[in-house]
Structure 1
Amino acid sequence: MVDPQEMADVAWILAAATVVLLMFPGLALFYGGMAGSKNVLNMFAMAMSTLGTVTIIYVLYGHGMVLGESLGGIIGNPTDYFGIVGYEASGLEGGFSETLDLAFFTLFACITVSIIASGALGRMKFSAWLIFSVLWATLVYFPLGHWVFGDGWMGNTFEFHDYAGGTAVHMASGFGALALALVLGKRKNMGERPHNMPLVLLGAGILWMGWFGFNGGTAEGANYLAQYTVMTTLFAGGTGMLGFMLYEKIVTGKATVLGLCSGIVAGLVAITPAADAVDPFGALTLGLIAGFFVAWACTWKTKLGIDESLDAFAVHGIGGIVGAMFVVFFGWATYTADEPIRGIFFGGEWSLLFGEMAAIGVTCAYAFGVTWVLVKVMDLTMKIRVEEDAEEDLDFTLHGQTAYDIK
């Protein structure tokens, strides 16, 4: 007889995985709307293609590298779970099985790589992107995933809190996108404006819905933690848009729809490491602060002339750092986290500050450094950037189609 609670857990994780899958077309729309009208299909292709490339390698050896038996704390054993061989068959009885975990963690890996497409906007060969997605997942995400989610050295060395991937997912993808953009160099049409704001808004809305599965599914069952993190995710996304627009209003006098959409994602990114570690008012405050700081980071990046125009670095990199540091100072959860969380301003230990800063520093430095070297080596061996005259219309040049057939 299957436990009814176990059946409820299975149903919730299946639902959570389904809405996480929707994050891929959501991200494609979000990025595609911000791209130029002749590069939108290329962004769609990059955002969606990781469901093919990264899924294959995650099933073959990635799950073992992330959650397999630790090899010196550096990486999991890639032969563990190879092709799901040896997985338990409890699901045949209608209960929870490891195959459900495999599907959920596969989606985490794929969406992390998709975010980095921001750094390749309008100038990277699609074939090079496919190869890059495989290599980046193997060299960057899988090791970081083991350090954060598995029995890796970072989790065993530093005292830090990361509920659902603020480090391995968001900081890694944000700093990876920055390195990719810097090595590729600027586009000739760097100042190109977003071509379709309704697509951006639709994409942001779909991402918000997907985040309920992302954070709620990390609770690993239909339990109070899932309910709580869905609530904090909702609150932070709402105030994130206000924080971003507030900064815009102060600096430019206008609150834009692009800022509204970017602020939503900024709040969602920031709550990811903190969803179980803040109270409802803390979630509202975190979203507001994250939106404001991410908007500042977008401005700062533009002034430096960095062509990472879809803002993965600012939104995911800086947003993830803001969320992680908020836990250190304002964390307050005595009944949701595995261990009670109490920030420094509520009488917590200062050791959490040093551990969190160390984890942030290691994650950002590793992701940026390895990505930089990887892209440099790829460019030397296969020339990953398209010819300059092809940049204006990658949709037709690389994919043989156009997004809009206007006569």
Structure 2
Amino acid sequence: MRKVVLGIILIALSILTFFSNYFLNGNSVPAEPVVFDSGDTAWMIVATALVLLMTPGLGFFYGGMVGKKNVISTMLQSYMAMIIVTILWVVVAFSMSFGTSIGGYIGDPTEFFMFQGVGATTAWGTIPFLLFALFQAKFAIITPALITGAFAERIRFWAYMLFMVLFILVIYTPLCHMTWHADGLFFKMGVLDFAGGTVVHMSAGWAALAGAMFLGKRKVQKVNPARITYVLLGTGLLWFGWFGFNAGSALGANSLAVQALGTTTVAAAAAGMAWVFIDKILGHKLSAMGACIGTVVGLVAITPAAGFVSIPHAIFIGIFSSVVSNYMVSLFHKGGKIDDSLDVFACHGVGGMTGMLLTGVFASKSINPAVTDQGLIFGETTLFVTQLTALIMVSAFAFIGSYALFFIVNKITPLRVTEDKEELGLDISQHGEYL
């Protein structure tokens, strides 16, 4: 039955794409070409490629942490996000994110259906509209990939892909629209999220927690990481790609992009330094895993604040987020009640929330004139309250919504592999491949 359904989906999608020009465009005359800023366009092409690189980087980061018999499956979860979400984004998800607002919650799914009206000769500011849409696609791709670390080593692959599709349509697109569309609920509230604190990291973090709770614990929770060298490589690719993630969110080759690049650099370094210092203070050895995890936490925390805060404040954000996430990781491990395999909630969820709140503390008009209400440190309280309100709303929506999606998917097809397949390893049981 599943094969029949998949075949029907492929045939329907092929027919739809074949006839889309006829049904949606008709015989319309192409619009006159628009002259774009060549520097902005060139930078955004590079930034788009950099953000895409983050997803295979995440695959290496996660793949190196799991047991040897689950490396391929864990990495493939990230690679399949690049494949599935790209098509989903073109078909309807971009329109749901950036189409004409419906009540401030979601975009009109028909406006840019199949990328109609999203062309290389139409403008989004100083860059082609198509380039903006493709840049945003990379954010959508990495978000469900981030979630996979929480239920690593025990999820059925087809169930994961179904969850990924539903997550993008039900959780990601409303958050993206509410945060980054000019008529979105959070945007109109004055919420500041430069590059994805709410949209990417908080949504992924809370979904990860929901997934870890729903799927339950692994049979064997303590495993030797398969490849620490993969973790180091993945961290390097993530840090490199994150410059596109944050600096690219300035949407141009300008001073704001430079500021975001600077804050991203120092926050990551400060968080990595803080993490290994904390480990040393607690009597642990200075580990490659600790340095890598701390660095990624800093990248997560600076994401919502990157274009709104100064360099010294970015250092504080990196150090503070590292301390908080390190504590949360140890708290989860000591409690032992929730098996978040790769500490996604403690690092991405908590890191994203920390960054959102600290944006409300340090955001400055002198850094970004778009800041209307400055942070607490400048004696203003409005922005901090706004950030806190959005944090609570996003947390509730992402967690409850994601848990409901896991429940629905599990009713359609079992989420968790059987005990014997978990024991065998997902590389063999799900894909018939091994290292």
TM-score bin, normalised by smaller chain:
over 0.9
For structure 2, which runs of at least 5 residues remain unmatched after alignment? 1-32
The letter of the residue matching 2:374 is: R
Paired residue for 2:217? Answer: 186
Match of 1:235 in 2: 266
Matches within 5 A, 1:377-392: 377-392=408-423
Q: What is the count of residue pairs matched by the alignment?
A: 399
Contact 1:286/1:326, CA 8 A, preserved across alignment: yes
Stretch moving more, 11-20 or 373-382:
373-382
- Alignment partners' CA distance in 1, 2:355 and 2:230: 27
Residue 153 of structure 2 aligns with which residue? 122
- What are the residue-to-residue correspondences of 1:2-401 with 2, within 5 Å? 6-90=37-121, 96-150=127-181, 151-156=183-188, 158-305=189-336, 306-339=338-371, 342-347=374-379, 349-392=380-423, 393-401=425-433
Change (3 A) 1:249 1:333: farther
| 1:55 Cα offset (Å) | 1.2
Q: Is the 8 A contact 2:162 2:409 kept in 1?
A: no
Question: Which letter maps to 2:342?
Answer: L
Query: Post-superposition shift, 1:265?
Result: 0.4
Deviations 1:2-38 (A, max 9, x none): 9997001110000011111111110000000001011
**Partner of 2:8 in structure 1?**
none
Where has structure 1 moved over 3 Å in runs of 4 or more? 2-5
1:370 partner amino acid: G
SS in 1 for 2:69: coil
1:276 touches 1:333 (CA, 8 Å); kept in 2? no
The CA RMSD measured in Å over matched residues stands at 1.8
Query: 1:29-62 CA distances to partner (integer Å, 9 max, x unpaired)?
Result: 0000001011000011101101111111111111
Residue aligned with 1:38, SS: helix
Aligned amino acid, residue 141 of structure 2? C
Instruction: State the identity %.
Output: 38
Change (3 A) 1:258 1:337: farther
TM-score (norm 1): 0.94
Distance in 2 (alpha carbons) for counterparts of 1:21 and 1:398:
25
**Deviation at residue 380 of structure 1 after TM alignment:** 2.5
Instruction: Give the deviation of 1:247 after TM superposition.
Output: 2.2
Is 147-156 or 12-21 further displaced after alignment? 147-156
Unaligned runs of 5+ in 1: none
* TM-score w.r.t. length of structure 2: 0.88
Cα distance in 1 for residues equivalent to 2:333 and 2:304: 27
- 1:342 match: secondary structure: coil
SS at match of 1:252: coil
Kept in 2: contact 1:276–1:337 (CA 8 A) = no
Q: Which moved more, 1:309-318 or 1:338-347?
A: 338-347
Which residue identity does 2:429 align to in structure 1?
Answer: T
Secondary structure, counterpart of 1:39 in structure 2:
helix
Q: Offset at 1:346?
A: 2.0
What's the offset of the Cα at 1:155? Answer: 2.4
Confirm or deny: 8 A CA contact 1:228 1:336 kept in the other structure: no
Q: CA offsets per residue over residues 48-91 of structure 1, 9 Å max, x none?
A: 10111111111111111111101111211011111111234526
CA distance in structure 2 between the partners assigned to 1:257 and 1:88 by the alignment: 45
Contact 2:267 2:316 (C-alpha < 8 Å) held by counterparts: yes
Provide the secondary structure at the position in 2 that maps to 1:116: helix
Give the distance between the partners of 2:127 and 2:193, measured in 1 at CA.
Answer: 25
Partners of 2:408 and 2:353 in 1: CA distance: 29
Q: Take 1:355 and 1:364, find their aligned partners in 2: how far apart are those partners?
A: 14
Q: For residues 58 and 287 of structure 1, what CA distance do their matches in structure 2 show?
A: 32
Q: Does the 8 A contact of 2:305 with 2:356 survive in 1?
A: yes
CA contact (8 A) 1:248 1:254 kept: yes
